[in-house]
Chains A and B, each alone.
Chain A
Amino acid sequence: MNGRVRIITDSVADIPRELVAQFGIKVVPIYVLVGGKSYCDNGSLDRGWFYTQLTQSHVLPSTAAPPPEEFLAAYQELVTEGAEEIIGLFLSGNLSSIDDNALLAARQLEGARVHIIESGQVSMGIGWQVIAAAEAAAQGQTVAEIKKLIYSIRSRTLVFGVLDSLEYLRRGGRVNWATAWLGDLLHIKPLIAFESGEARLIGRVRTHRRALQGLAKRMSEKSSFERIAFLHSCVDTTVVDQFRDLLRDYLPPGPKPVVQVTPVFATHTGPGGVGVAVVFSEDVLDF
């Protein structure tokens, strides 16, 4: 796996550990600030404890991008392993300053060229782009070919799901787009889609079943799936099973990981969210 072209991403990509190992992907952990303390999102943070903090503390956990030095250190490790070209895919620039720091670090790096590509995505929406790039790199494709592939996948990738409420997105200040159409008087579950680095409200429902049915319907009407990952933030796994069951006729071959999303993302979705990261077979930008 120590090829000439290597792929780097951040922990928000939520790529399962075995796939990280399989494709030699470099993951830079993001920081989560809980109760005034900073935790590194490298799997060491206790998820149960984190969700308790999320729901109970007055000050919401927040996230911080790693400083440029940490990106530089990660790049240098790849150079040491023989990388000549590094492709970086990070949390959408619209949602954080991660890729600014990654870019600053890239300018200081010697020994390899770093290509930072806007992923426009979150969670496995980044992850699938990263995995496809790593597969292509392993097959010996050139940076130009890999970039072309990433652009293609990016235009076919959507992350969407149902949140238990809009409260956390609101508190995180990321929802100027969606306060419309969501009343406060009834408990409403928003259906949201992440595309091109933006979160969009695509529906409003009041029950989980309706939410999952609504999502499944929208997805299956769209196009067939090339890849799919199931995402959730602290829900009972039977909910994920229900969702998978609704989509059983559409599931593609290959790995279909179930991912408990990183606390970095869960801080914004709140607990009780369920969704998918899908790569469709055709362009879906008009979703």
Chain B
Amino acid sequence: MGSNDDKIYALEGSVFKDMIWAALSWLRHHQEQINALNVFPVPDGDTGTNMTLTMTSAWNEIADLNEENIGKVVGKVAHGALMGARGNSGVILSQIWRGFARMLDSKGSMHAADLADAMRGASETAYKGVVKPVEGTILTVVREVSEEATLAAQETGDLYVMLERMVERAKAAEARTPSLLPVLRQAGVVDSGGQGFLIILEGMLRHLQGLPAVDEEIIITPEALAAFDPHHDHEGEIDFDEDYPYDVQFLIIGTDMDVPEIRRGIESLGDCPLVVGDPNIIKVHVHVPDPGVPISYGVKWGSVQDVVVEDMRAQFQDFLAGRQLGMKAQPEINMPPLVMNEEGRLRVGVVTVVAGKGMEMVFRSLGAMMVVPGGQTMNPSTAQILEAVKGVNADMVIILPNNKNILMAAQQAAEVSGQHVAVVPTRSIPQGVAALLSMDPDSSLEENVAAMSQAAFEVITAEVTWATRDVALNGVAVREGDAIGLLEGELVVGSQSFEEAAHWLLAEADLTDRELVTLYYGEGVSQEQADALADALSSNYEDLEFEVVEGLQPHYPYIISIE
């Protein structure tokens, strides 16, 4: 990587915009690598995906902007990040941008001292946004980068040098995260959020270094390309443009191919183009009206292989058919009549985040007004939650995130919405159900938040899923694909079958004074299997009542509520 000979004493809006694009591209490029830095071996809301989606939303705010005023550009980036924030890492990232933007509010261009101020603002805002800041996370990396920026600004006016030092410091801080956070050390990974932030800084630096947005020099093996799935960042969502219904992917194998030229060629053919590779092998992905056209184009350059053509209209039909649920209230679901005030508005409206048709029905039957689809592997954005909140015509709105990784986006949505909206910080489906049950439409928002939080706290959550990789954690060693049991979010058992894991979970749980066990069975589990499990458990625990409910949640064969 060469360095830039020209010193940079001031940055203006258009250059900063290009830096954001470079950061987003670089982040996308590393998305899977960041996702792999997963502490818990469970199907999870991936940090790389969440941060990429958050940055994509930030980019979309400025993509069509022609603006030299850096304060304005950064302000829009912050707004886009805020609205698109997904997962806790995305929310913290949005807070970093918010703090960064606040310091540049009135600036036409950014100098060294401004960058140091902005980074300090970023660090402070990020720390303030977290209830209990934990070191060894993205927070540590941001704070150290901010310290480095302050030091550097005292020694140089060159923003390029500053950013270079900030990246180096970020790398050092990131490398030390396992020594600060035992759970990272145990899992043998560095912090994923910190890594994402480092990649963003690195992407911005690459732009100043004159490097392309995505690195083409690196050698990509066909296996790596095959594993590369550009749809991953839209997990669970299918959005497509009706003018470009075909999703086409293929490899071109050739010699001395001109990658930028091929990228321009593919870009001219359709929507969502993605062209990566090197002069000998190139991966193409594009949405087009006619799948034959890009393939014919590819044939001009070399041998076309591994062609995948998908008709997204068919996928979209599946989507509509209800595999994934829309966000709006769906009239075909039997909703209870609701308690209205004198003006016909709801007294209390509840917005909840759940995955699975059965789960949605359960929450709706208990009076949830708006269901935002999402959960472990699909963290909704602040904007999605906000839209649901706006869709509730109620005096007060309560948000039940039902997942610890959705908590911060929910809180951000509540803050943006105002006084009448509050979050009951439910971390699991059983907690969400318990909280919703104890909602009292005649009570105040504060009383409800207190009573519902207490109810959520009193239920025990056990979950059965499968390990997404080999790991030894909390003294439990599991292999990828094993059934695993989580008690209150902690890995407690690995097993050969989901049912056996459920047995172990009940054995591990403190059942003192407990009466009722509800088994919500997920996708891929039949009612008969769930009933059989309940029967088997009930013969072991004669004092407990067992109830089986169809949840159809993805990734979790069983979610178990013990109360």
Which residues of A does B touch, CB under 8 Å? 179-188, 202-210
Residues of B near A206 (CB, < 8 A) are 434, 437, 516, 518, 563
Name which of B17-25, B106-114, B184-192, B334-342 contacts chain A: B334-342
For the complex with contacts A183-B364, A186-B518, 20 further pairs of A-B residues with Cβ separation under 8 Å are: A180-B338, A180-B339, A181-B366, A181-B441, A183-B336, A183-B362, A183-B367, A184-B365, A185-B362, A185-B365, A185-B549, A186-B362, A186-B365, A186-B547, A186-B549, A188-B437, A203-B438, A206-B563, A209-B513, A210-B458
Question: Is B488 close to A, CB under 8 A?
Answer: no
Question: Is B67 close to A, CB under 8 A?
Answer: no
Q: Which of B351-369 contact A (CB under 8 A)?
A: 361-362, 364-367
| Structural contact, B361 and A180, CB atoms closer than 8 A | no
Residues of B near A184 (CB, < 8 A) are 334, 365
Residues A204 and B437 in contact in the complex (CB < 8 Å), given A179-B337, A183-B336: yes
Residues of A near B531 (CB, < 8 A) are none
Instruction: Name 16 interchain pairs, CB-CB below 8 A, sorted by A.
Output: A179-B337, A180-B336, A181-B339, A181-B441, A183-B362, A183-B364, A183-B365, A186-B365, A187-B547, A203-B440, A204-B437, A204-B438, A207-B516, A208-B515, A209-B515, A210-B563
Alpha-carbon distance between A205 and B440 when the two chains are bound, in angstroms: 12
Residues of B near A180 (CB, < 8 A) are 336-339, 367
* Nearest 9 interchain pairs by C-beta: A183-B365, A207-B515, A183-B366, A204-B437, A180-B337, A185-B365, A207-B516, A185-B362, A180-B336
Nearest CB of B to A167, in Å: 15
Alpha-carbon distance between A180 and B348 when the two chains are bound, in angstroms: 13
Residues of B near A185 (CB, < 8 A) are 361-362, 365, 549
Interface size on B, residues (CB 8 A): 26
Nearest CB of A to B95, in Å: 36
Residues A179 and B336 in contact in the complex (CB < 8 Å), given A185-B365, A186-B362, A203-B440: yes
| Nearest chain B residue, comparing its CB with the CB of A176 | B337
Question: Is B101 close to A, CB under 8 A?
Answer: no
Contact with A along B424-443 (1 / 0, CB 8 A): 00000000011001111100
Alpha-carbon distance between A186 and B518 when the two chains are bound, in angstroms: 9
Residues of A near B433 (CB, < 8 A) are 186
Nearest CB of A to B139, in Å: 39
Total A-B residue contacts, Cβ distance less than 8 Å = 56
Nearest CB of B to A117, in Å: 29
Nearest CB of A to B550, in Å: 8
Alpha-carbon distance between A202 and B334 when the two chains are bound, in angstroms: 22
Which residues of B does A touch, CB under 8 Å? 334, 336-339, 361-362, 364-367, 433-434, 437-441, 458, 513, 515-516, 518, 547, 549, 563
| Nearest chain A residue, comparing its CB with the CB of B442 | A202
| Structural contact, A182 and B336, CB atoms closer than 8 A | yes
Alpha-carbon distance between A182 and B362 when the two chains are bound, in angstroms: 11
| Structural contact, B367 and A181, CB atoms closer than 8 A | yes
Nearest CB of B to A271, in Å: 16
Residues of B near A179 (CB, < 8 A) are 336-337
| Nearest chain B residue, comparing its CB with the CB of A208 | B515
| Nearest chain A residue, comparing its CB with the CB of B459 | A206
| Nearest chain A residue, comparing its CB with the CB of B339 | A180
Alpha-carbon distance between A275 and B406 when the two chains are bound, in angstroms: 40
Interchain CB contact (< 8 A) of A181 among B336, B361, B458, B549: B336
Nearest CB of A to B398, in Å: 14
Nearest CB of A to B334, in Å: 8
Residues of B near A207 (CB, < 8 A) are 515-516, 563
Residues of B near A210 (CB, < 8 A) are 458, 563
**Which of A180, A184, A185, A187 has most chain B Cβ within 10 Å?**
A185
**Which of B337, B339, B434, B516 has most chain A Cβ within 10 Å?**
B516
Residues of A near B440 (CB, < 8 A) are 202-203
Alpha-carbon distance between A212 and B518 when the two chains are bound, in angstroms: 20
| Nearest chain A residue, comparing its CB with the CB of B516 | A207
Residues of B near A204 (CB, < 8 A) are 366, 437-438
| Nearest chain B residue, comparing its CB with the CB of A214 | B438
Residues of A near B515 (CB, < 8 A) are 207-209
Alpha-carbon distance between A89 and B200 when the two chains are bound, in angstroms: 78
Residues of A near B516 (CB, < 8 A) are 206-207
